[in-house]
Amino acid sequence: MSHPPSSSVVVVFALVFSCTASAFLQSGQSLLLSHGTYGGAPAMRRPFAHHHFADRRHEHHQQQRKHGGCERHERRRRSRMHANAFSEEDSYATLAGLEEKQGSSDLGLKVVSKAIDTLFAFEPFFDYMVVEAREKIVKRSYTLGVGWAENVDGMRRNMDELQGEYDRLLDAKVSTPSYYYAPFHCYPEGNLSWQAALEVEPSAICVHADIYTGKKGVYERHGDDKLRGNFHQRMKEMLKGPEPKDILDIGCSTGLSTLKLAETFPLARITGVDLSPHMLAVGRYFLRTREEQRHARGRVEYLHAAGEMTGMGDASMDLVSLSLTSHELPAEATREVFREAFRVLRPGGAISFMDMNPQSPAFQKLANNPFAFAGFKSTEPYLQEYISLDLGKELEAAGFRNPEVRSNSTRHRTCVAYVDK
């Protein structure tokens, strides 16, 4: 296992990279906030203000941590080390579709990659990058007319109602796997926090604002909606048979993907499951209070459950959907989710998922930029496991047939596979 760098090592790194510091900071910060995952905004390390609100999740999760987690600082450190781990096999060689690099240039790239990964694992440096990146993404929100602070502060004023939704959704029987306690998207408590849940919507708008503009530094308000819409358009093009009536949305977060499914399939019943009761509470609150979600009331239900063990009956679903979920899972968890999807699907049913495409030119360009890729990996603890996974092979191993893949953006792919009739 690697170890955190000493101060002397950091000084050496600083000297080595001083000539490219400006480009380093810019590319690293941009990837902390903008590569095309759903993302959460990079979270500052300052505690989230709850005002009078008592976050009653701690007792439940502290009990679970005795069996699979560890203290917050140790989780952050280990997760960072996991995300930035350097082995004899350089990370680029694990990317599907990338040619193996050879010769002296390969050695130089390995050395640079290792050094930069280690620098990102140095917490003071990482925290500085996070604060800078957060300021940029919040500023972007105002250019898009989102109003970051207004959105988040408005939700904070309804914390009593959100807590009520949380209490109704929380299933004490759900065992949270240890991997889920890792910091995601720079939130120290990952998805098990109110800050992450309250910032999902403005984050999604901001990080996907440049996907379809085709120009660096040019953003549009509806990039996230286009991404999800294109996913469903590709999905419908590939799906065979009648429209699904019962749909399971795994890793639904606050319901952005669930509501899009309800819009795409207006006669379907959709169940969204997630391991974060915070995310689910926000989703249920929106479903109850937002007029634009009125069409989904009575058809959408949110449940606290793991994607590996949803609690759905055998052969009870026509479609299982995963939107921007797989890259946040360890490889074995992805395999378990595929097996669970196969179990709950009816004969002739389908699994459909959308996520980043490691084989795309945009992703390959990212992977060949050690600065940017190190920044990205530092916020996504299971990224290398995702990009190393042969998804077609894993789907077939779970029992699915005829997997088909199509692009739905320059960075993302849609995959559909089937259960035999």
Cα gap 224→206, rounded to integer Å = 8
- Report residue 181 CA to chain centroid gap: 14
Beta strand pairing call for 317-323 and 246-250: parallel
Pairing mode of beta strands 269-274, 300-304 = parallel
Q: For residue 408, how far is the Cα from the chain centroid?
A: 17
Domain 120-419, CATH number (from 3.40.50.150, 1.20.80.10, 3.30.428.10, 1.10.10.10): 3.40.50.150
189-240 tens-digit pLDDT: 889 999 999 999 999 999 999 999 988 889 999 999 999 999 999 999 999 9
Q: What is the DSSP string of 277-303?
A: HHHHHHHHHHHHH-GGGGGGTTTEEEE
* Per-residue model confidence (pLDDT) at position 107: 60
CB-CB contact of 360 with 413 (8 Å): yes
Region 318-344 average pLDDT:
97
Alpha-carbon distance of 182 to 263, in angstroms, equals: 32
- Write the CB contacts of 22 (distance below 8 Å, at least 6 apart in sequence): none
Q: What is the pLDDT of residues 128-182, one digit of tens each?
A: 887 888 888 899 999 999 999 999 999 999 999 999 999 999 999 999 999 999 8
β-pairing verdict for 412-418 and 345-356: antiparallel
Asked whether the predicted pLDDT for residue 264 surpasses 70, the reply is yes
Average pLDDT for 81-101: 34
- CA 274 vs. chain centroid, Å, equals 12
Interatomic CA distance for residues 315 and 321, integer angstroms:
15
Q: 194 and 48 in contact (C-beta within 8 Å)? A: yes
Classify burial at 49, counting beta carbons within 10 Å of its beta carbon; exposed 0-12, middle 13-18, buried 19 or more: exposed
402 phi-psi bin (left φ>0, alpha ψ -120 to 50, beta other):
left
In the chain, what are the domain boundaries? 120-419
The Cα 359–Cα 413 span in angstroms is 9
Model pLDDT for residues 107-129, shown as the tens digit of each residue = 655 676 777 778 777 888 878 88
Other C-beta atoms within 10 Å of 295: how many?
Answer: 13
**Can you say whether residue 165 is alpha, beta or left, with left for phi > 0 and alpha for psi between -120 and 50 degrees?**
alpha
SS3 of residue 55 by DSSP: coil
- Nearest alpha-carbon partner for 315 in 246, 408, 226, 225: 246
In angstroms, the CA 401 to CA 23 distance is 45
Is the separation of the CB atoms in 307 and 271 below 8 Å? no
Contact 138, 44 (CB under 8 A): no
Structure token pair of residue 182: 């890792």
- Residue scoring higher pLDDT (70 or 413): 413
| The dihedral sign for the CA sequence 43, 45, 47, 49 | negative
Residue 15 clears pLDDT 80, i.e. is over it: no
Residue 6 identity (one-letter amino acid): S
Walk across the sheet containing 246-250 and list its strands: 300-304, 269-274, 246-250, 317-323, 345-356, 412-418, 401-407
pLDDT, mean over the chain: 80
Pairing label, strands 246-250, 269-274: parallel
Residue among 290, 240, 241 nearest 262 (CA): 290
Q: What is the pTM of this model?
A: 0.79
Predicted confidence at residue 152, as pLDDT, reads: 94
- pLDDT average, residue stretch 38-63: 41
Share of the chain above pLDDT 70, in %: 73
Res 31 pLDDT > 90? no
